Amino acid sequence: MKKRNPLSPYFAYAKKCFLNRSAYRFDHLMNILSTCLQIFIFWEIYRALYGNKTQVDGITITMLTTNFVLSAGLGAVFCPDDYFLPGKIWDGSISTELLRPISFKGRMIAENAGNALFNLIFRFAPICIIAAVFIGLCPPAGLLHALCFLVSAFLGWGVLWAISFAVQMTAFWLINIWSILTIKNVFVRVLSGSMIPLWFMPDWMHKIIAFTPFSSIYFTPVQIYLGQLSFEEIALRCTIQLVWIIFIYAIGDILWKKGQKKLVVQGG
């Protein structure tokens, strides 16, 4: 008898999410237009702030635009479902989910990976093409930098997923985690460099942000793409990303184990 691949259920969940996303074409198109509109607005704002200057502190407007496009594109790709676990606790289906013969956490990763793959193909790529044609982007610093960018971007996705995972675990104790998720999203938007490039942050703030996981999500991949980091620095930054993934996931896993013992189903 052929031995069953233990990962096949997770691939099935990832495939299901990918196919489900493809069914909502109009919603997908609106998301692309929304992201492009956001990029164009930021581009116009910073172009007005730059005025006649070609660069500010060594940062050109094209580098700035590239930061916004890559950050917005990666943000569209990553996009973890922050209500995956809370929703199942609210409607009571978590009790059934925990009885399935597969890892619930593995399913969370699989479904998010399916969504991420869909967004990579049908959101990130179109956004980059549109921005390159109408605004202009910096090319990668080199082939090795492009490959390192992909590795760092993957690790950045892991950091953001781990943060989302840890925050979702608080749903075992709180009825509504909307406020915590809102705070989390604000921190990610501001401290990751996707809204305000970290190049323009005050030195004291930049040093503080360096001790948080947020800059590892978008800004580190962007710096690698633009060639602002040496290969030694790239190795160090990627190691830091990996450490953050392990550390934050460990916190979430502790909350997961404690939360299951405290679980009280109110729905279903």
pLDDT along the chain (268 residues), means of 10: 73 89 82 88 86 84 90 89 90 84 90 92 90 90 95 96 95 88 91 86 85 92 95 95 97 93 61
Residue 93, amino acid: S
Backbone angle region of 80, left / alpha / beta, with phi > 0 → left and psi within -120 to 50 → alpha: beta
Q: What is the pLDDT of residue 262?
A: 76
Residue 198: count other Cβ atoms within 10 Å of its Cβ. 22
Residue 172, amino acid: F
**Cα distance between residue 227 and residue 144, in whole Å:** 10
**Cα distance between residue 64 and residue 58, in whole Å:** 11
The angle at the Cα of 216, spanning 245 to 151, to the nearest 5 degrees, equals 75
The angle at the Cα of 182, spanning 34 to 242, to the nearest 5 degrees, equals 90
**Cα distance between residue 179 and residue 200, in whole Å:** 28
Q: Which residues contact 210 (CB under 8 A, 6 or more apart)?
A: none
Q: What is the pLDDT of residue 110?
A: 93
Q: What is the pLDDT of residue 268?
A: 46
DSSP state for residue 7 in the 8-state scheme: T
Q: Which residues contact 190 (CB under 8 A, 6 or more apart)?
A: 196
Q: What is the pLDDT of residue 245?
A: 97
Residue 48, amino acid: A
Q: Which residues contact 130 (CB under 8 A, 6 or more apart)?
A: 32, 36
Q: What is the pLDDT of residue 207?
A: 83
Tallying the residues shown for the chain, one arrives at 268
Q: What is the pLDDT of residue 265?
A: 57
Residue 153, amino acid: A
SS (H, E, C) 105-130: HHHHHHHHHHHHHHHHHHHHHHHHHH
pTM of the prediction? 0.90
Q: Which residues contact 73 (CB under 8 A, 6 or more apart)?
A: 35, 123, 124, 127, 128
Q: Output the CA–CA distances (angstroms, integers) from residue 28 to 82, 174, 231, in the order listed.
A: 19, 32, 37
SS (H, E, C) 50-112: HCCCCEECCEEHHHHHHHHHHHHHHHHHHCCCCCHHHHHHHCCCHHHHCCCCCCHHHHHHHHH
**Cα distance between residue 244 and residue 108, in whole Å:** 19
